[in-house]
Amino acid sequence: MGQTSAEGNIDEPIIALLIEMIDENNCLAKIFRRARDHYENVGSEFSIRLVPDKGKGKEYDLPSTSEVAGLIVGDITSTIGERDIVVQFRSDTLQHIRDDHPLYMSLQYPLLFPYGEYGFHPEIPLHLETGTSKTRKFVTIRQYYASLIQTRPTQGMTLIKGGRLLHQFIVDVYTAIEEDRLRWARNNQEILRAELYSNVLDAVSKSDTDAKIIGQRFILPPSFTGGPRYLVEKYHDAMAICREFGNPDLFITMTANPNWSEIKENLQKYGGDSPNDRPDIECRVFKLKLDQLLKDFKAGTFFKPYKAALHRIEFQKRGLRHAHILLWLGNSTRTPSAEEVDEIISAELPNKEEDPTAYDLVTKHMIHGPCGLFNPKSPCMENNVCTKKYPRPNNDNTSIDKSGYVLYRRRRNDDTCTVMAGAVLDNTFVVPHNIKLLKKYEAHINVEWCNRTSAVKYLFKYKTKGVDRATAVIEKGNTSTTSDATGSGGSKEKVVSQRNEIQDYIEARYLSACESMWRTFAFHIHKRKPSVEKLIIHLEGEHNITVKSTDNLGRVIRKPGIEKTMFTEWMVLCRRSAFARTLTYVQIPQYFVWNNSAKVWTERKKGKSIGRVVAVHPSAGDRYYLRVLINKIKGPKSYDELKTYNNVKYSDFK
């Protein structure tokens, strides 16, 4: 959906020429009845209006910028989120064209595909360089569209010069990609439920331990980016890093700058009136900048090299993507001095005479708002108060309280800047930053010291919050005909008899062109260093086995190594390695590597990894107590040894 309308700017002669071109060249137009013939006298108009819904969290905030976006709504049945096109032959018969049909995009976007070209189909051969191993024979839907949306000066570039139509196309493309993955999840529920019950997946709630309830649910696997189990898994990974290294030192937010010189140069060379016309270029430049920023952090270019780092990419309906980064600095003190904080972070305007470059960068990128009396309608304002707590109080010196909270130095002086509507702002509106970072990357980069216990879980939950959503009303003329927070029609109240994680994910899903482009290119959403190894656990003889409907069960059970798992082979490792017997299960990945194909733990020769045991809910009974024990007991050689205490063997782990 777009927030603006260009209806008044339609050039009728150009429209007539486009219709003539399509009639002459588009093979589909010659077969199917054109929509203008059928709806020539139909004048009903509808609009979708987004409404604020503060009670549901930040995911439901209204967009603060004008952008093209899609709302994925509706109930999920055996046909996952179908977005069929219904076409009518000249003989008046109807035909449904599914969103994975080769002609779907040509029917939807005749201006981008004026010849009615065939698009993606599931049997396009995958060709790789000679000597490159490949696990699949055919191109995936994501690979196809990622290849299609490329700048190729020697070929026609109608698609990437499509402006807002390109934005709509990109949203449609990623919606098709995501729905393809949702179909897979819907069609493989037996496998996913088995993995959940066998503790291959992290438990999210009490119901994850009840086989009867699990059998009635639709589950999204943690491999589905943005799903509830994906987010829970990332949260547990982050807490595993905390367990190893303590609290993070720095919380950094980097926001893309549409005026980066690299973006402007590519626009001039390959087309586009503004950076907003080319989300593909914006994505690529931001990815390159972010990669370089993380390399600089690793090298210690701006402060001490990090020993651990993780980050998440977010979009938040603001048009430009941004990255939240957490750093654990090497050799850092748990409670820094004010001087150490001042060396890294500034919350003041630089002196305009002494460093004009720094002054220009801070006033351009690091001034909050303005809000409050200067701009009461600023997005940060709620009940006439800034939710970001600006303006901040003046402080002659940086101070750190007992909990580790930092109050940055913001001295009263003559340094001011004039921003929107002539507002004159001082240090109380300056966002904390590092001037060296600003000079190199010329973008909004907020740097905060966050080394305190109470902030850790808040930061990680913020970093792993769910996808953007929206509440909308459908209006005919000036009257609201439907109001539905879930987007599924009818009243806001909805009775749900069983948990459906697939439907929970897509209900009122707000998908921008910015996010769609990033995800279509398969750029990462989360990343961490060092890696975190998820360690599965299970009761004796209750490990998960995947069986296809065509498999012979007897042969599967007799398959060599079928009884071996990461957990059972840990106990085997403890029998043959004296060193392994000095470690708990969670410490094993630091010194050993799990070879999943050979089903064996081998000695680690390079790299670093942190282990974490898969989450188990207390209601799981013996499995939960097994998890408690393996976090304490070092080097057990068998299940019986885990049940033995003071030479007494117990019947269960409790």
Query: What is the reported pTM?
Result: 0.80
- Asked if 613 and 538 touch (Cβ cutoff 8 Å), the reply is no
Residue 611's closest CA among 243, 201, 224, 223? 243
Average pLDDT over every residue of 362-378: 89
Tell me the two tokens of residue 431: 């966002």
pLDDT of 455 reads 60
Residues 6+ apart with CB under 8 A from 483: 473, 491, 492
Average pLDDT over every residue of 447-476: 62
- State how far the Cα of 310 lies from the Cα of 252, in Å rounded to an integer: 11
pLDDT of 15 reads 84
Mapped onto helix, strand or coil, the DSSP state of residue 266 is helix
The one-character DSSP state at 306 is E
pLDDT digits (tens, 9 = 90+) for 119-143: 898 888 888 776 666 677 889 999 9
Tell me the two tokens of residue 434: 């590092």
- State how far the Cα of 357 lies from the Cα of 440, in Å rounded to an integer: 11
The residue ranking higher by pLDDT, 581 or 7, is: 581
The one-character DSSP state at 410 is B
Mapped onto helix, strand or coil, the DSSP state of residue 49 is strand
DSSP element (H, E) containing 14: helix 12-25
Residues 6+ apart with CB under 8 A from 617: 203, 205, 206, 208, 209, 624
- State how far the Cα of 522 lies from the Cα of 542, in Å rounded to an integer: 36
Task: Give yes or no for residue 75 having a pLDDT over 70.
Answer: no
Tell me the two tokens of residue 381: 């304002």
Q: Which residues pair with 645 in a beta bridge?
A: 648
Question: How many CB atoms neighbour CB 551 within 10 A?
Answer: 12
Task: Give yes or no for residue 502 having a pLDDT over 70.
Answer: no
- State how far the Cα of 505 lies from the Cα of 507, in Å rounded to an integer: 6
Q: For residue 625, how far is the Cα from the chain centroid? A: 33
3-class secondary structure for 25-38? HCHHHHHECCHHHH
Domain residue limits, the chain: 7-219+473-511, 335-450, 531-649
pLDDT of 374 reads 86
Determine the longest span between alpha carbons in the chain, in angstroms. 93
- Asked if 239 and 266 touch (Cβ cutoff 8 Å), the reply is no
pLDDT of 582 reads 96
- State how far the Cα of 173 lies from the Cα of 636, in Å rounded to an integer: 51
- State how far the Cα of 311 lies from the Cα of 324, in Å rounded to an integer: 5
Q: In terms of C-beta density within 10 A (0-12 exposed, 13-18 middle, 19 or more buried), how is residue 519 classed?
A: buried
Q: What is the number of residues in the chain?
A: 654
Percent with pLDDT over 70 in the chain = 71
pLDDT of 316 reads 66
Average pLDDT over every residue of 508-523: 87
- State how far the Cα of 344 lies from the Cα of 326, in Å rounded to an integer: 15
- Asked if 85 and 108 touch (Cβ cutoff 8 Å), the reply is yes
3-class secondary structure for 79-112? CCCCCCEEEEECCCCEEEECCCCCCHHHHHCCCC
- Asked if 587 and 533 touch (Cβ cutoff 8 Å), the reply is no
Q: For residue 467, how far is the Cα from the chain centroid? A: 7
Residues 6+ apart with CB under 8 A from 299: 305
- Asked if 589 and 605 touch (Cβ cutoff 8 Å), the reply is no
pLDDT digits (tens, 9 = 90+) for 79-119: 444 555 555 555 555 566 677 788 888 888 888 888 888 88
Give the CB-side neighbour count of residue 458, counting CA atoms within 13 A.
7
Mean of per-residue pLDDT scores for the chain = 79
- Asked if 427 and 348 touch (Cβ cutoff 8 Å), the reply is yes
Most confident of 60-69, 421-430, 632-641: 632-641
- Asked if 94 and 119 touch (Cβ cutoff 8 Å), the reply is no
Residue 227's closest CA among 207, 200, 204? 204
- State how far the Cα of 140 lies from the Cα of 473, in Å rounded to an integer: 35
Residue 509's closest CA among 480, 473, 476, 470? 470
pLDDT digits (tens, 9 = 90+) for 143-171: 999 999 988 877 777 888 888 889 889 98
pLDDT of 430 reads 94
Measured CA distances, 460 to 236, 335, 457 (Å): 9, 20, 5
pLDDT band at 459 (very low <50, low <70, confident <90, very high): low
Residues 6+ apart with CB under 8 A from 172: 70, 105, 108, 109
Tell me the two tokens of residue 104: 């779907």
The residue ranking higher by pLDDT, 611 or 498, is: 611
Residue 183's closest CA among 64, 263, 82? 82
The one-character DSSP state at 349 is P
Residues 6+ apart with CB under 8 A from 378: 369, 370, 371, 372, 386
pLDDT of 25 reads 86
